[in-house]
Chain A
């Protein structure tokens, strides 16, 4: 295992920057997730680490080695693909053996290693099967065993769960994470699924348009998003457009005067997390902000309920409330009050 460092990685295709000055320092044994919408540069970054794309500028260091110019087969990185990419003409055991064979491990030493790797993913009983005889989840685990068996310096996961069905995905998430911890693997995973990212990562990197938008823990990204894109992409936010009218005072396009934090002036967006807003029948003078509004739409999600509440002709927010038997749900058209504290809303210049 080793530390992985990316230094000012840039990849340019014509006049399109697929990766724009990406720098990352991933500690030995850390699980880092690159998160972003498709085309944000996360896959490009991963493929540069794997050696399939040569960066236009910048360098990649793995442990003590500068691997920027090395071909993929000399990098000692374990890769797991979205499509699993198992060798269709080889048995499960032969698939797992491939990395060892390439490293010229003597035959006698190979067998116990293969058995151990397959045992790690609980597939030792299927060693003689062909990939097409396995389910998607099993294939995924073979791919994982194949990438782990030769003790790679870094494990790279490219959307490893997106081809699995929803239920299985939850199990495999936990499985991968536990395995990674147990083996102390430095891991980089790419995903567009924020829930997956939040549950698995030690640290997250939010990317868009080839650039890193924010690096931090789950709490950092959720509680203190650095920019509007992050507030929108990680978790849920409703945005109210308007401007900062003075320190701590935001006025929406619909004329709501909102108490908030921040001293900047000019056009701005106010981001509100639906689950941080309070819903009451009467006005709440104790809160910094309290506005009357009418319920316009209700999404019943089971454990939670989303209410879309109109606060002014131009401003509508989503409020998420817990679905409790003792609290009757409002109906469409009902007048309610929505309140939140000064620190709940986050203001981003727009």
Chain B
């Protein structure tokens, strides 16, 4: 009973801000104040008309998709190597790959910014504010999730199952495709989801990496806030919550996320 109450309070604590954001999005007046003077959908209608939000959403989506894909391509082999082989410094590499989760995004952003400046000066390649530079930064956000979650599902897997497949006539590649991959799929799906969300919602690091005319959705929201505090922001947030929620629901249809995370 006491446990139920505690759980209920925690849930309320988590949901309360979200509740207010959603409520606010439907306020009729321009300057949010309580009680609302009326309700309206005009802020939602305004969002598609705002180029900065639309292009921000498109860029965030593109960056998140590409960064997550690269993160998986790097993270899955890394996890396999970390779990399946023993080499000196293994633990250190493992921790190193999780570092982007621990280092504050703003520090990561500044570090990358300084690095890009130096690298651009040294090589002449236009790294600063480039799309490639932005994606590369976001890959750093996706890698720790991939490594962590795929490592977890690999660790829980019985090696004998793979050996059984090999004894039955499956070579290494077939064994990976038919046995290992299905076994770690929930981990991979969860990693994709978390990597995507981490990248899509990132603000602090991206601030240092975007270039002129290239703005992600969280930055577009921030910039809008500098000028106005009308419920458009709340409407955008609601749309973003709906979008992420849809992604999660869709994922849950294929893999039971609750089982892996």
Contact = CB atoms under 8 A, between A and B. Distances in A.
B168 A85 contact: no
A110 B182 CA distance: 23
Nearest to A75: B167
A150 B169 contact: yes
B69 interface: no
Contacts of A143: 164
Interface in B161-204: 161, 163-171, 174, 178-179, 182-183
Interface residues of A toward B: which range? 20 to 34
Given A71-B171, A99-B169, A102-B168, A86 B163 contact: no
Contact of B163 (A52, A89, A103, A146): A52
Nearest to A143: B164
A138 to B, nearest CB: 17
A88 interface: yes
A75 B168 CA distance: 9
Contacts of A86: 161, 164
A248 interface: no
A98 B170 contact: yes
Given A83-B158, A85-B158, A99 B168 contact: yes
Interface in A80-123: 81-83, 85-89, 98-99, 102-103
A72 B179 CA distance: 16
Contact of B164 (A74, A85, A150): A85
Contacts of B166: 51-52, 71-73
A77 interface: yes
B160 A73 contact: no
Interface in B117-171: 158, 160-161, 163-171
Given A86-B161, A88-B161, A79 B167 contact: yes
Contacts of A89: 182-183
B158 A146 contact: no
Contacts of A242: none
B167 A88 contact: no
Given A73-B171, A102-B170, A85 B183 contact: no
Given A89-B182, A89-B183, A73 B169 contact: yes
A76 B169 CA distance: 7
A293 interface: no
Interface string A135-178: 00000000100110010000010000000000000000000000
Contact of B167 (A72, A82, A87, A103): A72
A127 to B, nearest CB: 18
A78 interface: yes
25 contacts: A52-B166, A72-B166, A73-B167, A73-B168, A79-B164, A79-B167, A81-B160, A81-B164, A82-B160, A85-B158, A85-B160, A85-B161, A87-B164, A87-B165, A88-B183, A89-B182, A89-B183, A98-B170, A98-B178, A99-B168, A102-B174, A143-B164, A146-B164, A146-B168, A147-B168
